[in-house]
Amino acid sequence: MGGTRREVPNDPGRRERILDAALDVIAGSGVHKTTHRRIAARAGVPLGSLTYYFSGLDDLLAQAFIRLADTMSAHYRRTLEGAATREEAEAAVVELVCGPAYATSREMTLIFEMYGYANHHPEVMATARAWLHRSRASLSLHFPEEVCAALDVLIEGWPIHRVLEGAPLDRELVAAAVRALVSGLGAR
């Protein structure tokens, strides 16, 4: 049989549920309106659970943004790992920019919130910086360093413009830009 009650958590997914709830609250209300109470209510846990797992709201938010970055980085990596040729890698970049699975509307809202919060929280800035480096490392599976830096800016920036303009991106234009970056910078 198992250990004592103290050794076996009665709700093993609670911490992750709290982090997911924090991201839901941030996406729905913004960091500025995110509170312990809102997160606990969204997660369906007692308010005291938050202080059991996190030292305070700043810690909880920082851990939630780490969860966001980890999840999005994993998707980014899988998309690029699936490419076997340079052409497939270029198509993977276009899919990251234009496709429905990466940088969804919710994720873009969370990214905006994370960047704003990072301006005043060094730990979250470090998370954003680490995410940038992981993105470039994923791109480096197929492209040289200069191309990785330029493509990462394109992958980051074009979805921002999509949100601000409120319109889908022109996939052919994105594909042409990716080809131009890869062939132009790759030839240097």
138 CB contacts (<8 Å, ≥6 apart)? 73, 76, 77, 80, 81
Asked if residue 72 lies in contact with residue 131, where contact means CB atoms within 8 angstroms, the answer is yes
- Return the CATH fold of 14-186: Tetracycline Repressor; domain 2 (1.10.357)
Rounded Cα distance, 166 and 67, in Å? 27
Q: Which residue has the higher pLDDT, 6 or 124?
A: 124
pLDDT in tens, 42-81: 999 999 999 999 999 999 999 999 999 999 999 999 999 9
pLDDT (mean) for 4-24: 81
pLDDT in tens, 123-168: 999 999 999 999 999 999 999 999 999 999 999 999 999 999 999 9
Rounded Cα distance, 37 and 85, in Å? 49
Average the pLDDT over each of 6-10, 16-20, 42-46, 81-85 and give the range with the smallest value.
6-10
Rounded Cα distance, 109 and 113, in Å? 6
